[in-house]
Structure 1
């Protein structure tokens, strides 16, 4: 990106002789909310640690706001970090936790009071300044950790799996809270997650990582609807994924022709369960599993193509276990994959 605020240039990161990230190039604009998404071991947390200054690169450069910070110490690079565990001091009050970093910068008196109180107000905790972390809910502790980082006025705020310790209801609340704080302050925010739903809900852009490299970069809509590889398709919920060979689906029982021509440049095709048409089509499947999912019903079919997962409206008549159903995989609603395997 031409307006890069944070730039990683050919960044290689290693633990001893083990290379975790190799030749990583990444540009992030000022004010973006970006997700590093991927499975455990893909390099996302290692990349975040390097940006924070907690890991020295084996090679490459990190530039922030026009200055190189590759070898700048963590406490001098204006990067905030919210840990997965929150890392609050249990013996200090909420006020003192938020004030901790500011005191190290020798802020005192009214200046300190003003910044701490403004920080607590920004995350809705102004009335909790005298409490200890153990007296707060998980979501409130997360907000304290967020306020503690934000009062330091970082150029970039990093969050390591920020919602993983919260229950489902609190995760939804904190998603909205993170978005609100980020949009109101304009801080550049990068969060690390293995949860694709979290990344899709929060981020302006998603960087999908695999084996220490970038597999795909795009908006949530791009990642969700237009995965470029079989890995990304599988990671974001495409459960019917096939390689193509000579324009036909490669299946355990040999190549199978489609009802329409596949794109010439496609290495594979993928369908979400919702895209599978049940009740008509050139293929046959036997119902081996069915489950009710509220507004929809999910089916697992055995077929000559291999296992097929389908989802239909729950209001439709139910197909019984062992019954045979015609189905189709319409090319028009498939994701065309540029890379397979």
Structure 2
């Protein structure tokens, strides 16, 4: 990946009727980057992707690709590929003809068409499946056909809408590897939309966390995972114990957390369940939930300031429902939140 600005959204505003879905969004995507738009339903990530693809009108701002303004350029003239969540394959056509479809529309035929399609299928490991039809393929294979169909068009940017959401856990792992390999070998700039933080962390060079039509935080997977900037981001990437700091004290949504410690000057602190210490500490809770999760045991504690979630090594003695347990929230291991 280079540091060259390749795809730029400048003050991008998108509306559905009188409702603003994305408000004056600024984002620069580098050439060869694999970028994730991450967030819950309704945050504006898919709307942003559709605008980049040319599938919806822009209410304000500009979209520039490779130093050209494409804000009003028709979708089929943008040199942007799109892989839909549903794959959108033609069930009555063979794999070869599905991949060839866009090329034929461009007037490519004969040996050139065959070579491009065969090369595309080979790149995603489906060279032997050219004569099959989509219903005869697994979900992962269909996803790779959709990927090949877009890649043979040699797009400058490839957009992927929830690319792994229809696959089971094993196939998701396989497709992660496949996407990374294709992106690495071709150098194509990829932007993918997802609501799955694990998927974004595993695949992306950078993650854009979106909330209510705006960018909440941008960073590398490590930055987003270890240093969330706000309660919203912390909640979204697995910090299940999140507290506000007010007047030098720690507060849950309902009560003060009676932790006698010097707190940093910040908006709040966030604790992953795995850093909560059980069996010792100044706080007490009642075990209301317990689950074995392989290498860990997951507990939910009832406390005067709300539920606390803790994950501990499964080799340690187990607590039973109803047990009172001492615990600690180690501040030196907490993520410091810049804003509430």
User: What is aligned with 1:297?
Assistant: 297
User: What is aligned with 1:151?
Assistant: 152
User: What is aligned with 1:23?
Assistant: 24
C-alpha separation in 1, matches of 2:314 and 2:308: 18
**Local SS of the residue matching 1:183:** helix
- Is 1:117 equivalent to 2:118 in the alignment? yes
Task: Map 1:5-84 onto structure 2 (within 5 A).
Answer: 5-84=6-85
C-alpha separation in 2, matches of 1:9 and 1:35: 18
C-alpha separation in 2, matches of 1:31 and 1:262: 42
How far does residue 4 in structure 1 lie from its aligned partner after superposition?
1.1
Encode CA deviations 1:289-316: one digit per residue, 9 max, x unaligned: 1111111111111112321111110110
Deviates more, 1:296-305 or 1:190-199: 296-305
C-alpha separation in 2, matches of 1:90 and 1:183: 30
**Local SS of the residue matching 2:306:** coil
CA shift in 2, pair 1:162/1:2, >3 Å: closer
C-alpha separation in 2, matches of 1:95 and 1:251: 57
**Local SS of the residue matching 2:244:** strand
**Local SS of the residue matching 1:70:** coil
TM (norm. structure 2) is 0.97
User: What is aligned with 1:330?
Assistant: 330
C-alpha separation in 1, matches of 2:202 and 2:18: 37
TM (norm. structure 1) is 0.97
Q: Detail structure 1 runs of 4+ shifted over 4 Å in the superposition.
A: none
CA RMSD of aligned residues (A): 1.3
C-alpha separation in 2, matches of 1:259 and 1:330: 11
User: What is aligned with 1:227?
Assistant: 228
- Is 1:309 equivalent to 2:322 in the alignment? no
Encode CA deviations 1:1-32: one digit per residue, 9 max, x unaligned: 97210000000000111110000000000000
C-alpha separation in 1, matches of 2:76 and 2:254: 59
Task: Map 1:209-288 onto structure 2 (within 5 A).
Answer: 209-251=210-252, 254-264=255-265, 266-288=266-288
Task: Map 1:102-141 onto structure 2 (within 5 A).
Answer: 102-141=103-142
